[in-house]
Structure 1
Amino acid sequence: MRVNKVILTGFLLALLGGATQGAAAEADGWYKEVRDLYYGISVQVRYYPGDVELSKRVWAYLESIDNVFNDYKAGSEVSDINHLNAAGTVTLSPMLAEAFEKSRQSWQLSEGVFDISCAPIRNLWKQAAKRGVLPSDAEVSAVRERCGLNLTGQTGNQLTLSKSGLQFDFGGIVKGIIADHVIEMLKAGGAQSALVQIGGETAAFGVSQKNRPFRIAVQHPENRDDTWCVIHDPGKGLSASTSGNYEQPIMINGKEFYHIMDPRTGYTAKTDILSVSIAFPETGKNWLADTLSTTGVILGPEKTFAIIKPLGGEALFLIRENGQIKEVKSPGWGIFE
C-alpha cells in the first residue's frame, strides 16, 4: 500500500509559530534550520544548545536518505531491488536492513495491513489516475500476486525474495525512522532540548525556546489553514504522527479516492475516517507512530486502540458522521491535551 504521508498523504503536525526556511543561530543558543529533502519533504531541526559540527552530521545523515529509500530514483538502494525482477538473496545496507526489520514488526502488529511490499498496488492506482480509468478487478488481482511481506525473509542484512517481481515502498515508515535517528544523534551530541519534524512526523524532548513543553498543532482535516487541536509533550518526550486524506487524494475521472491502499483487497481504503493521530509519550517511537497512523485509517479505532495500548501509545480519530466531524479518542489521549 502507498503510505508515503508526504507525497500521497495529507497530514501535518506543525510547531505552533512555525519556522523560516534556512539556517539560523538564535541569540539564545538555539539552532534552527528547515530544508526540503527526499521528495521535497520539509524537514525542520531545532535544538539547544546549537553545535555546528553536530548540525553537519545530522544534515549529512538526512541527505543520505534519498540514495537509499527513494524508489523513484535510479540507482537508489530500494530502486535497485525493485528492478531486480528475480528471486534470490540481497545484501542490505545497515539503514535498509533496519527499515525492513521494523516494517516486518509493523506488518505483524497490523496483521498484514501495513505492507511495504505493496508498491505494485500503488503503481497500479497511480497509472489509473493518469489515464482517468479505474483499474479492473483483473488488474488488481494480478498485482496482488506480487505483494506480501510473507514472500520475503530476513536474517541480519540478508534479504531473501521468494519470487520475482517484488517491489517495496517505505513511504509509510521511513520518515518515522529518520526522526527517531535524528533525535538519537542530537541526544548523543549533547542536546538538552530538541524538536524534529520530517513531513508530518514530529519528535521532541526537553523544553521549547519559551521554556515550556513543545506544543504541536494537529491540522484540521478539511481546512489546511486551520488547526483542529493542540497536543504537547507530557514531560518525557513525544513521538507523534497524523495520517489523513486531505492533502493529495487520488482523483480518477473526477472522483476522489483515499490514497491509502488496503493490501488485503488491492483497493483504496473505503472509510469515513478523515485523519488518525498517533502519539507516544517518549522519543524513539516515531516509526511506530508513522505506520500505525496509516493502518488506523483501515483498521478503525477499536482495533487500533487494542494495538497501541500495550505499546504505550494513544490515538485520536477524526471521523465524518452525519455531516459532522466526530472525535474518537483512546482512553489515555488526555495526557497530550
Structure 2
Amino acid sequence: MQRVLVPLSLGAAPPVPAAAARLCRLHGETMGATWSVAWAASPMTVDEDTLGAGIRAVLAEVIAQMSNWDHASDVSRFNRAAPGNWLALPADCFSVLKAALQVARDSGGAFDPSAGPLVDLWGFGPAPRRAEAPAMAALEQARAQCGWQRIVIDEAGSRVLQPGGIRLDFCAIAKGFGVDAVSRYLSAQGIDSHLVEIGGELRGHGVKPDGMPWWVALETPPGGGGAGHETLVALHGLSVATSGDYRRYFESGGHRYAHTLDPRTGYPASHALACVTVLHPQCMMADALSTALTVLGPEAGMVFACRHALAARFLIRHSGGFDERLSPAFEAMLS
C-alpha cells in the first residue's frame, strides 16, 4: 500500500524549470556518510564542475567548524579550551549551538550537545569502537562531564564559555545543517529546484524538470514492511530526517546497544522504538528533533510532537514487525 504526504503550505508557487531544463546529479562523501545533489539545470545554470567545487567547499566548511574528528575544528578547539575561557565561534557554528541548546531545553535534556564524553565512552565518536558496555564508574564519570545547562553563550559576541570539561558533539545536528547549507548555496546560484541529501537526511525545493515534485520514500528499518505502508513525501520547502536503532550499534551479553544515547541516563535509548522520522522546514531541526524524540520514546515523544506541532512518525518494534504511530501534524499532510 502506498500513500503520499504533501506540505500543508507551499508558500510561493514552486518555480517551474525552463523547458530545456535537464536533471543533473552530483555525489560524494562527507562527515562519515555520502552526499548527493540533484537539480534542474537550465542552459544558464552554473556548470557542474563549478557547482561541485562549491558544494564541496560548503561541506568542508561545516567540517572545519563542527567536526569532532577534525582536531583543528572550532568545536575541537572549544573542547580543548581551559576552564573559564570564552571562545568566539563562526556564525554558522554558533547558530547550530543555539539551535541545539533550544532542543535541549525543550526536550528536558533528551537531546544534549554536551554529550561528547558519553558518545566517546560508548565508542560512537572519534574514540575507538568498543565491543562491550562501559563500566558503571566510567559511565558516571562521563555523565559528570556533561550538562547542557552548564553551557553559557554570549549572543552579542557569538562566544561560548568553557566552564571546564564540556565537550560539544554536534553529530546529531551537523549533517542536517550541512543539508541546509548546501541547499542555501544552490539557491544562491539561482538553482531553485533541487534535492539535497546527506546520510539519508534530505531537503527539497521546487520541482523536477518534468514538473513532478521531488518524491522521496520515507526510511524504514530492515524488515519495515510490517508497518504496512510505503510513504512518499513531496519535498518542496521541506526536510526529512530519520533516527533509528539499526544504523550503528554493537551487541554484547545478549544486549543491543544503539548509537542514540539518552544523556539523562548515560545509556543508549532502550525502549521499543525502531525509528522516528520528522518533517520540518529546516533539516538541522529535523535532524535534532528526530534524535530527541527517539530518546523520549513513543509515549513521551508523541506528547512532545503534539505539543510542538511536529510532523513525526514513530515505528515501534514488536515480535511480529512494527506498529506505526503518527502525530496529528503528520496525519494532516496525508493526501
Q: Which amino acid aligns with 1:51?
A: V
Which whole-Å CA distance do the structure 1 matches of 2:334 and 2:64 have between them? 36
Q: In the alignment, what sits opposite 1:138?
A: 137
1:47 lines up with 2:42 in the alignment = no
Q: Percent identity?
A: 28
Q: Which amino acid aligns with 1:37?
A: T
Contact 2:224/2:322 (CA < 8 Å) preserved in 1?
A: no
SS of residue matched to 2:112: coil
1:212 lines up with 2:204 in the alignment = no
Which whole-Å CA distance do the structure 2 matches of 1:286 and 1:336 have between them? 20
1:202 lines up with 2:195 in the alignment = no
Q: How many residues align?
A: 305
Contact 1:240/1:277 (CA < 8 Å) preserved in 2?
A: yes
Q: Which amino acid aligns with 2:46?
A: D
> Which 5+ residue runs of structure 2 have no aligned equivalent?
1-19
User: In the TM superposition, what is the alpha-carbon distance from 1:143 to its structure 2 partner?
Assistant: 1.0
Which whole-Å CA distance do the structure 2 matches of 1:253 and 1:277 have between them? 30
Q: In the alignment, what sits opposite 1:230?
A: 231
Contact 1:117/1:169 (CA < 8 Å) preserved in 2?
A: yes
| Cα deviation 1:21-71 (Å, max 9, x = unaligned) | xxxxxx8433310111122x1111112234235554333111222222221
Contact 1:203/1:286 (CA < 8 Å) preserved in 2?
A: yes
Contact 2:23/2:208 (CA < 8 Å) preserved in 1?
A: no
Q: Which amino acid aligns with 1:47?
A: W
| Cα deviation 1:198-244 (Å, max 9, x = unaligned) | 1121101211244211111223312499996232227x422100110
Contact 1:47/1:195 (CA < 8 Å) preserved in 2?
A: yes
Which whole-Å CA distance do the structure 1 matches of 2:320 and 2:84 have between them? 49
SS of residue matched to 2:171: coil
Q: In the alignment, what sits opposite 2:259?
A: 259
Alignment CA distance shift 1:277-1:133 (3 Å): closer
User: In the TM superposition, what is the alpha-carbon distance from 1:300 to its structure 2 partner?
Assistant: 2.4
Contact 1:116/1:169 (CA < 8 Å) preserved in 2?
A: yes
User: TM-score, normalised on structure 2?
Assistant: 0.82
User: In the TM superposition, what is the alpha-carbon distance from 1:170 to its structure 2 partner?
Assistant: 0.3
User: In the TM superposition, what is the alpha-carbon distance from 1:257 to its structure 2 partner?
Assistant: 1.1
Structural mapping, 1:21-40, within 5 Å: 28-39=21-32
User: TM-score, normalised on structure 1?
Assistant: 0.82
Alignment CA distance shift 1:34-1:224 (3 Å): farther
**Residue from 101, 106, 113 that aligns with 2:103:** 106
Contact 1:31/1:51 (CA < 8 Å) preserved in 2?
A: no
1:303 lines up with 2:300 in the alignment = yes
Q: Which amino acid aligns with 2:72?
A: G
